[in-house]
Structure formats: structure tokens, C-alpha cells
């Protein structure tokens, strides 16, 4: 039934005389925004919507002095100053809701492009609808590698995926060996046993082979546990040079406490964010987290190397929907960046014709100066994946996350090896 309706609507769209009507510039460009705005991760969705609204404000109001491709003049100059209007929907983190909402946005709200949806699973279904209707879809934050492996024509992703993050870790180890003349030989992988941990460990094991490191221990464990004594005991026995955990928050807490208690001292601890970047991790762990390294896609302390971060963060903090004045964090920063890329493509397309927008997106070539992300630019490959992405690594130094890699964006030097527990105060 759904397919029948889909085909019927497709036929209607194909037959409708809307294409010629678009010949002259439209007054507004409508973009459908999908985010989780209720449920346990609602805050991430709300922050992301705020970042998108901020981007729209900059573009629509004009007079901006920021080094962005748009915002100098009001509206999109390529479309005669047309304004952007958002239609924001809540997909509740459910793939089926995302799918239905995408359908509604395209058929009823008559949007010109779709944007979102944070959850990889929802992005997967919503972008499938977009693909069926031939509607440009830009995703700025979903990290499942498979999304850009589906051979879609209308799907574009500006964000790095989990593969990129792990590659950054291994590049870092190789670079550190060269730079410091140290020798890293063995790795220990510990991962929680759901999709996130299993996938991360699999990629890390493959990369270890490729980069010539020996994985001396790889173990799965349950994130919901009351003790990690056995796990840390095994790690101590295997004693790898570098320890690579993929953990959620509660288990990260127990791990650090247990490692301290049982005097487990790897030379380096490099985590696949999640638990290690939870806002409470640093405040609660205090000096016990000192020296730990985690991957991250964005960091405020890059501001010295990326001057645009500071004014954008100030704008973000002053948003009226951001009552606590929270700093712009990783996901909203990516949402902001992705939206600018989409708006810029529509502007260059000089039309709201989907095919023109798709062509403009495919031709995107945004230089690094116009980004707040640590990337070498935005340029899509034939799969729609941004090839300019780079993950950064941060190390906890003096109680704060300091960017340490890539070296040219680093705000601090790497502390290596990790200080053993007995030498800490």
C-alpha cells in the first residue's frame, strides 16, 4: 500500500507542472529538519536544531562578518535573496517515525531538501524515502560507516564515520612513534558487547593488522556490570603497550576506578569517545582521568587555530533556546557545518530543482577556512561521503580536554607514557 502511494505520488510529482514554475527564483527555500526532540537523547536533538536555527539566522539576516560562504547579504544571493524556512519534526529516535515524517515532509510540506537525523538507524530509513523521491538529503552527524555504502545518489554526509575515527587513532600511534622515537608494539582491545563496541573492536583489529601492531588481548564485556576486576586482571596479565577501550559511561567509571585500585598501568589509554567524553566523566573522575586520550570530532580549544570557533560559540551561547548558555559541542557544531554546506549548495544551484541541488552538492568544494571543524574541507566522493573529514584526538591534561592530534591543530603536546598510579598525587 505504502509503495503504491509512493509510486502514485512519484507519478504526480513527475507529471505536475512545478518544474517550469520554478524557473524564476522562489521567495523561500524550505528545508525539512529531522531530529530526536523527545526521549532520552532529546538534548542532543534540541542543541542541533538550535545550531541549525543559528545558521538560518546568519544566512537570512545578512550582514555577517564571519568567514562563511553565506550571510554577507540577506538570504541566498543565488536565488535573488530567497529566505530559508525550516520545517522541524521530531522523529523520537524511531526509524519508522523518521520514515513517515520524511515522506510527509516531501509530499505535504513540499520541502526542497531533507536534513538530519542524528541516529544512524533513522538516517537510514529517512534517506531511503528521499532516495525514492529523488530528494537531496544531507546528513551531518550519523557515524555508521554503512550509510554511504548503499550506492545512493541523493545522500550526502559531511561528518566522519566510525572508520575515520579509528584510522585517526592508528595514524596517531604511527606518527607518535616517528616523532618521539618510541616503540609501540602491542595493543589491548576491550569493548562493551553491543553493536557500538563490537563494530569498533572489529575495525580496530583490522587496522592493527594493517598498521603492523599485535593485538595481544581482545575481550568483550557487559557494559552493565557491577565490577570489572576480572577484566582488568586479564589486561594486567596480557600487558599491552596501548589500551583501546570502547565503553559507555558507567563502565568507563568502573574501569578507571578498578585500574587505579589494581594498579593497571598501560603506556597509553586511547578511548573511542562515548564514556570518555560524557560531560560528567571529567568532572567526576578528576585527576584519575589525567593523561587519557579519546577521539573527538570537535573541540573548543582549537579556537587558536580556527578563529571562527569563538564568535560562533558566542552566538550559540546567546541563543534564546539555549537558556543555560551551553557551549557549542560536538554534535551541534557538526549540525551547523552540515547545514551551511547544504545552504551553500542550494545557493550555487541557483534553483530549488532537486537535480540542480544534487549537482551543486556533488560539486561542493569548501575550503577549511570556512569551517569550524578540524577538516581539510568539504568535498564529496561518488558515494556522498565528505573526503575532507579528519577526527581529532584529545588528551585529558590538567583536568581539561586538550587537542593533541592532528599535530598541526594541537593545542598541547602529547603526554606519553601515561603516569603510573603510584607516581600520581
Partner 1 sequence: MTAEVLLQGIVSGLLMGFVYALIAAGLSLIFGLMEIVNFAHGEFLMLAMFSTYWAWALWRLDPVVSLPLTAAALFLLGFATYHGLIRWVLGAPMLAQIFATFGLAIFLRSAAQAIWGVDFHLVKDPLVQGRISLGGIFIGLPQLVASVGALLAFVFLNWFISRTETGLALQATAQDRQAASLMGINTERMFALGWGIGAACVGVAGALLTIFFYVFPDVGSTFALLAYVTVALGGFGNVPGTLVAGVVVGLIEVLGGLLIAPALKYVAVFVLYLLVVLWRPQGLFGRF
Binding site for partner 1 (CB under 8 A): 40, 193, 219-222, 224-227, 229-231, 233-234, 236-237, 249-250, 253-254, 257, 261-263, 278-281, 284-286
Query: Judging by DSSP bridges, how do beta strands 83-90 and 28-35 pair with one another?
Result: parallel
Chain center to CA of 338:
10
**Please, which residue, 72 or 234, has the CB nearer to partner 1?**
234
Shortest Cβ distance from residue 322 to partner 1 (Å)? 17
Q: What is the dihedral of CA 54, 59, 64, 68, to 10 degrees?
A: 90
Burial 267-278 (b: 16+ CB within 10 A, else e): bbbbbbbbbbbb
Q: At what angle do helices 330-349 and 354-362 cross, to 10 degrees?
A: 120
Strand runs labelled E in 225-335: 242-246, 268-271, 293-296
The residue among 67 and 227 lying less far from partner 1, judged by its C-beta, is 227
The CB-of-272 to partner 1 minimum distance in angstroms stands at 17
295-323: burial string, b at 16+ Cβ within 10 Å, e else: bbbbbbbbbeebeebeebbebbeebeebe
Closest CB to partner 1 among residues 234, 350 = 234
Residue 392 · residue 163 · CB < 8 Å: no
Shorter beta-carbon distance to partner 1: residue 73 or 227: 227
Contact 149, 383 (CB under 8 A): yes
Q: To the nearest whole angstrom, how small is the minimum distance from the Cβ of residue 202 to partner 1? A: 15
End-to-end CA distance of the chain: 67
Instruction: Supply the minimum distance, in Å, between the C-beta of residue 290 and partner 1.
Output: 14
Q: Shortest approach of partner 1 to residue 41 CB, angstroms?
A: 10
Beta carbon of residue 269, minimum distance to partner 1 (angstroms, whole number) = 18
Kindly tell me which of 73 and 261 has the beta carbon lying closer to partner 1. 261
Nearer to partner 1, 23 or 237 (CB): 237
Q: Decide whether 137 or 253 has the Cβ nearer to partner 1.
A: 253
Beta bridge partner(s), residue 114? 32, 137
Instruction: Provide the minimum distance between the beta carbon of 261 and partner 1 in the complex, in angstroms, as a whole number.
Output: 4
Amino acid at each position: 500500500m505504502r509503495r503504491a502511494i509512493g509510486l502514485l505520488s512519484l507519478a504526480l510529482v513527475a507529471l505536475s507542472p512545478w518544474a517550469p514554475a520554478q524557473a524564476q527564483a522562489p521567495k523561500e527555500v524550505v528545508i525539512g529538519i529531522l531530529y530526536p526532540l523527545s526521549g532520552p537523547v532529546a538534548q542532543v536533538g534540541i542543541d542541533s536544531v538550535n545550531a541549525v536555527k543559528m545558521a538560518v539566522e546568519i544566512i537570512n539576516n545578512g550582514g555577517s562578518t564571519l568567514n562563511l560562504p553565506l550571510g554577507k547579504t540577506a538570504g541566498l544571493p543565488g536565488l535573488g535573496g530567497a529566505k530559508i524556512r525550516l520545517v522541524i519534526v521530531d522523529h523520537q529516535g524511531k526509524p519508522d517515525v523518521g520514515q513517515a515524517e520524511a515522506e510527509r515532509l516531501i509530499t505535504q510540506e513540499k520541502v526542497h531538501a531533507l536534513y538530519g537525523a542524528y541516529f544512524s538507524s533513522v538516517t537510514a530509513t529517512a534517506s531511503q524515502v528521499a532516495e525514492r523521491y529523488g530528494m537531496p538529503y544531507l546528513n551531518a552527524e550519523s557515524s555508521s560507516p554503512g550509510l554511504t555504502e548503499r550506492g545512493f545518489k541523493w545522500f550526502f554526509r559531511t561528518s566522519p564515520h566510525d572508520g575515520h575515527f579509528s584510522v585517526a587513532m592508528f595514524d596517531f600511534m604511527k606518527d607518535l612513534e616517528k616523532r618521539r622515537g618510541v616503540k609501540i608494539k602491542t595493543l589491548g582491545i576491550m569493548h562493551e558487547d553491543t553493536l557500538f563496541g563490537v563494530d569498533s573492536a572489529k575495525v580496530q583489529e583490522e587496522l592493527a593488522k594493517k598498521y603492523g601492531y599485535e593485538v595481544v588481548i581482545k575481550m568483550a564485556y557487559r557494559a552493565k556490570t557491577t565490577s570489572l576486576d576480572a577484566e582488568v586482571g586479564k589486561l594486567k596479565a596480557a600487558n599491552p603497550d596501548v589500551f583501546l577501550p570502547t565503553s559507555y559511561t558507567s563502565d568507563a567509571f568502573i574501569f578507571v576506578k578498578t585500574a587505579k585500585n589494581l594498579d593497571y598501568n598501560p603506556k597509553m589509554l586511547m578511548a573511542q569517545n562515548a564514556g570518555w567524553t560524557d560531560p560528567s566523566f571529567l568532572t567526576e573522575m578528576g585527576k584519575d582521568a589525567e593523561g587519557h586520550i579519546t577521539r573527538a570530532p570537535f573541540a573548543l580549544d582549537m579556537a587558536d587555530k580556527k578563529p571562527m570557533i569563538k564568535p560562533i560559540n558566542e552566538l550559540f551561547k546567546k541563543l534564546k533556546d539555549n537558556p543555560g548558555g551551553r557551549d557549542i559541542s560536538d554534535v551541534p557544531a557538526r549540525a551547523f557545518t552540515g547545514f551551511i554546506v547544504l545552504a551553500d549548495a542550494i545557493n550555487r544551484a541557483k534553483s530549488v530543482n532537486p537535480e540542480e541541488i544534487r549537482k551543486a552538492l556533488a560539486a561542493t568544494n569548501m575550503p577549511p577556512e570556512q569551517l569550524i571543524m578540524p577538516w581539510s574541507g568539504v568535498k564529496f566522493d561518488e558515494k556522498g561521503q565528505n573526503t575532507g573529514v579528519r577526527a581529532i584526538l584529545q588528551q585529558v591534561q590538567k583536568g581539561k580536554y586538550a587537542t593533541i592530534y592532528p599535530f598541526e591543530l594541537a593545542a598541547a603536546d602529547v603526554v606519553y607514557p601515561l603516569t603510573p598510579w603510584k607516581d600520581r598525587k
